Structure 1
């Protein structure tokens, strides 16, 4: 049997999320799964999640719908900073998963969430086109004249974490483009529009043969922590808790580890 269809929203599609949230929390199921009885879980579960979580959370969304027949998981993937702003401005969502504790703290301080839990961490890696035209071998090469580098915008977790790497390495990197999220940086690299980009190790893995990864030594690398929280005004609180529980469960952690995420 095929898993129920699931909608995936990318970027800052707040309007679509507002419309989808109107689906409410109707529906229930008496099925029992490894996560416990799903009799109180049904309807639409809207999840705002960092762009770097797209592959892992899409997988978890499929599992969630299989475990809770009648549910429908709707994702909005994008920069954590932008998603946090949407949440604090009242966009209806059930769960927020951030690539930065800073952005989650903004949501908590606004009273939109109360008890975030770290569930994963991620480190940076250099991504280059498969033929590596600029012959990039390490972080210092990103500062070379003529090397075209793409980075995330400074307020986005992948941009802030890349800046820590440059500080650790003692280099100044001037990007030719600053993108809204890590997937946009990866796209610039895979299309050959830049010579290199600094992304998460999970994104290099997800890109497969489209890019080549250049490891950053542990002595200069930097990481970011990913917290998750159910939202205070979640339209579907039972669904929100159940999805968060899945992410934090052993099964959820296995999915994240398979995509290259480290423990929090």
Structure 2
């Protein structure tokens, strides 16, 4: 039986993940016997925080048994550098994938989808924010991703493109934590990926950001060098960039590469 498990780690956390093989027992019919089907290969997918919304559907699409570890892209690269186990790495941008490839941690990267940013406010918009320029008001509690992670790098580009002088009350290590500040009411507004806004549903309200489509993030998948299942990992990367997976990406608000 295939199964999926999701582990969400804060960016500063170090990964200690051990995946045990699933045992199974069968009752044999003595009057007739047949060869049992091969067990699904267990693969660990280290995915950027923004890809956590895909976990369940991706597990259903893949022929393999998938375990998911979701965190900021920079944290995942560091975890791989520290020897964390994994089979496939999905970065939220090309920069961190390039870092992983140059460090000899990942090979055969492939762009599989793109994403873009929106402004979110809590349900009811208590701060009365109508446009991104309201974010410059000193009484607005704005939260952004740290510039060292993909969502923060794009937020910085958008701020510059819109001539904004922003003073966030906090900088988060991944987009999930950034969104969480708005959902819980700790922040009045935040820049997040449109896919995260969609996943939050009616817990947030969305305001468009001018020039957002000019600064898309490319999601890139690659095979972890140390994988014990290189062929299966490569097949999963190919699946992510295929027509077969296009509807999965679209369902969650991404633009598929295929």
TM category (shorter chain) comes to 0.7 to 0.9
Question: How far off its partner does 1:249 sit?
Answer: 1.7
Q: Which residue of structure 2 aligns with residue 58 of structure 1?
A: 56
Distance in 1 between residues matched to 2:228 and 2:90, nearest whole Å: 16
Indicate the larger mover: 229-238 or 190-199: 229-238
Distance in 2 between residues matched to 1:125 and 1:260, nearest whole Å: 12
For residues 114-151 of structure 1, give each alpha carbon's deviation from its aligned partner in whole angstroms, at most 9, with x where no partner exists.
Answer: 22011111111001011111111222111111000111
Contact in 2 for aligned 1:165/1:220 (Cα 8 Å): no
Does the alignment pair 1:181 with 2:182? Answer: no
Q: Which residue of structure 1 aligns with residue 154 of structure 2?
A: 161
Q: Which residue of structure 2 aligns with residue 241 of structure 1?
A: 234
RMSD of aligned residue pairs (Cα, Å):
2.2
Q: Which residue of structure 1 aligns with residue 207 of structure 2?
A: 214
- 1:90-101 equivalent positions in 2, closer than 5 A: 90-101=83-94
Q: Which residue of structure 2 aligns with residue 32 of structure 1?
A: none
Contact in 2 for aligned 1:23/1:43 (Cα 8 Å): no
Distance in 2 between residues matched to 1:249 and 1:55, nearest whole Å: 18
Distance in 1 between residues matched to 2:54 and 2:213, nearest whole Å: 27
Q: Secondary structure at the match of 1:114?
A: strand
For residues 5-53 of structure 1, give each alpha carbon's deviation from its aligned partner in whole angstroms, at most 9, with x where no partner exists.
Answer: 3110111565442x12x649x99xxxxxxxxxxx888331000001111
For residues 51-108 of structure 1, give each alpha carbon's deviation from its aligned partner in whole angstroms, at most 9, with x where no partner exists.
Answer: 11111233111221xxx3xx42110001001001111222111000000111101110
Question: How far off its partner does 1:263 sit?
Answer: 3.8
User: Residues 106 and 135 of structure 1: is their aligned pair in 2 closer, same or farther, counting only changes over 3 Å?
Assistant: same
Contact in 2 for aligned 1:92/1:235 (Cα 8 Å): no
Distance in 2 between residues matched to 1:4 and 1:137, nearest whole Å: 46
Distance in 1 between residues matched to 2:115 and 2:192, nearest whole Å: 10
Distance in 2 between residues matched to 1:239 and 1:188, nearest whole Å: 38
TM-score (normalizing by structure 1): 0.85
Q: Secondary structure at the match of 1:127?
A: strand
Does the alignment pair 1:253 with 2:253? Answer: no
Distance in 1 between residues matched to 2:93 and 2:21, nearest whole Å: 29
Does the alignment pair 1:195 with 2:162? Answer: no
Q: Which residue of structure 2 aligns with residue 104 of structure 1?
A: 97
1:148 aligned residue (141, 153, 173): 141
Q: Secondary structure at the match of 1:227?
A: strand
Distance in 1 between residues matched to 2:213 and 2:50, nearest whole Å: 21
1:113 aligned residue (106, 128, 151): 106
Q: Which residue of structure 2 aligns with residue 171 of structure 1?
A: 164
TM-score (normalizing by structure 2): 0.87
How many residues matched? 243
Distance in 1 between residues matched to 2:44 and 2:131, nearest whole Å: 39
